[in-house]
Structure 1
Amino acid sequence: MSDAVQLPEWASLSGTADAAVPLFACALLIARDEYPALDAAHCDAVLESHARHLRIEVDTIGQTPLKMQAINRHLFEEIGYAGNHDTYYDPRNSYLNAVIERRLGNPILLAVVQMEVARRLGVVLDGISFPGHFLVRLPVGDGMLVMDPFNGGRPLDIEELRSRAAPHVDGGPPDDDTLARLLRPATPRMMLMRMLRNLHGTYAEAEDWARAVRCADRLLSLAPDAPDALRDRGLGYLALGHVTGAREDLGQYVVRYPDASDVDAVREQLVHIGRTRDRAH
């Protein structure tokens, strides 16, 4: 691996300040679980080549939105990064090395590519954990330009943002204050957690419990107080027959989160565990 990108250790991340969590390196760290031979230096070099191709052009452009327009044109039209509409839940859409290789991804991984290339060109983008699809934002004066990396980096106006949010918000289209909250920047930690939750959902749906447990475990490395990750790891352990791990995680869940909406169901699982013998692992 080159000195350009060093992957951190999982154990170090819980104590790292949100702003200091390295998004690009940690996205590769997630991918390395599935691709142990992952070449981080190669991934870094590919994105650097995208930036190098644009650098002279972008440096000659004065207005930041026009810089962003040039970046989007190169990434989404010339190189061909695109949202994978046909097989949206393909796990490869959530692994950065595969997205870079295939030029296909889900919204948040395409956002990582867009944000990282822009960063190397001096354009700072924020991610937005918007309901439904992940978005990115570029500060412009007193406002922001909101873009959809899953659909070619297309800018979204306020009415489209309201309509996209409406199915996910009680009471219909959000008012100004609610929409402003939905458009707040996501920290790198929040983005990585969303990636892992996406993967966990895909693997749990496929009943691939070993990978689902791995995702929940990595979530707990990033955020030890994430209730859903503790519960999901315990349920995954139970599906694998690892009764000791399931008992520990689910027991901790009911103690630490007694007001959770599903705590009674988890208690029932613990009763079931009491009647089950652990499998050898």
Structure 2
Amino acid sequence: MGTLPDDEIALAETALLLARLDAPWADWRRAQSHLSVLAREAAELRDWVGSDAQEQAEALAGMLACRHDYSGDYETYDDLRNVNLIHVTERRRGMPIGLGIVWLHCAEVAGWDCYGINFPSHFILGITGEDSQAVLDVFSGGRIMEAEDLDAMLERLDQARKPARGLALADRMGKRDVLVRLQRNIAYRREGAGDLPGALACLEDMLRIAPADITLWQQAAVLHQKLGQIASAVRSMERVVALIPPGEDAERARAAMRRLRSRLH
């Protein structure tokens, strides 16, 4: 999957495989069956929903939030079940990224141009119709967000460096980006809980998805160092050096690699 073009990635199927790795005891067949039910219902939406982005967003909200009761988990937000697709489909609850994969799966089956938006600290979706675009918050049941809502969120994060309207239009995420962001949520929480081996395992899954991501190789090197796995840290930095473009960053990466190699002797 790491070598596939982005548009050939089966988003929900891959997220389900990652969920099985993370929770091999969970009932993945039930989750797969439920995703198939959602796909059939989403295919039916094509027959009566037009090309307007807001209509498409409202149709998805009616199907997922109203009929199937998908919503954000406000009470136990940091529960890792909220980013495991098997558990998300069981509980109908999740973090924005966990829910978003379900919405993206349904929108793709319906044939609509729906995508993740790389918004700081909160995963949201965009839908582009023939003459319009809608931005929706899957965590709040698919509420359609206006530019003022996005600006307010950026102000709360103190990251209002570019207008939300431009951010929503420009920061479109591919399927690979979405899967990596899903796994980042897991790795971040595992590392915060002191589970460094678990965080590293999650990073290694991300590298299978995105083997050319320099930042992931750098993070892997750091975790290997923290775990005392210096030879593995060196190999990770070797990948950074092989991938990074020439320049000051490349020189710093080579220097870091030399320092790590010196610790092997």
Compute the TM-score of the two structures, normalised by the length of structure 2. 0.82
Calculate percent identity across the aligned residue pairs.
26
Instruction: Please point out which of 2, 7, 15 is paired with 1:27.
Output: 15
Please tell me whether residue 16 in structure 1 is matched to residue 4 in structure 2: yes
Tell me if the contact between 1:231 and 1:253 (Cα under 8 Å) persists in the aligned partners. yes
Instruction: Please point out which of 57, 69, 76 is paired with 1:80.
Output: 69
**1:118 partner amino acid:** A
Q: Secondary structure at the match of 2:78?
A: coil
Instruction: Evaluate the alpha carbon distance shift between residue 152 and residue 213 of structure 1 in structure 2; reply closer, same or farther with a 3 A threshold.
Output: same
State the superposition RMSD in angstroms: 3.2
Give 1:232's aligned residue: 219
Please tell me whether residue 117 in structure 1 is matched to residue 117 in structure 2: no
- Give the distance between the partners of 1:123 and 1:82, measured in 2 at CA: 21
Tell me if the contact between 2:39 and 2:109 (Cα under 8 Å) persists in the aligned partners. yes
Which range moved further: 244-253 or 103-112?
244-253
**1:145 partner amino acid:** A
Give 1:219's aligned residue: 206
Instruction: Evaluate the alpha carbon distance shift between residue 244 and residue 56 of structure 1 in structure 2; reply closer, same or farther with a 3 A threshold.
Output: closer
Instruction: Please point out which of 191, 196, 199 is paired with 2:178.
Output: 191
Tell me if the contact between 1:147 and 1:153 (Cα under 8 Å) persists in the aligned partners. yes
Compute the TM-score of the two structures, normalised by the length of structure 1. 0.78
Tell me if the contact between 1:231 and 1:250 (Cα under 8 Å) persists in the aligned partners. yes
**2:108 partner amino acid:** R
Question: 1:29-178 alignment to 2 at 5 Å?
Answer: 29-37=17-25, 39-52=27-40, 59-62=47-50, 64=52, 65-166=54-155, 167=157, 169=159, 171=161, 174=163, 177-178=166-167
Q: Secondary structure at the match of 2:150?
A: helix
- Give the distance between the partners of 1:270 and 1:39, measured in 2 at CA: 46
Unmatched tracts of structure 1, length 5 or more = 1-12
Unmatched tracts of structure 2, length 5 or more = none
Q: Aligned residues, how many?
A: 260
- Give the distance between the partners of 1:175 and 1:91, measured in 2 at CA: 29
1:49 CA displacement: 2.4
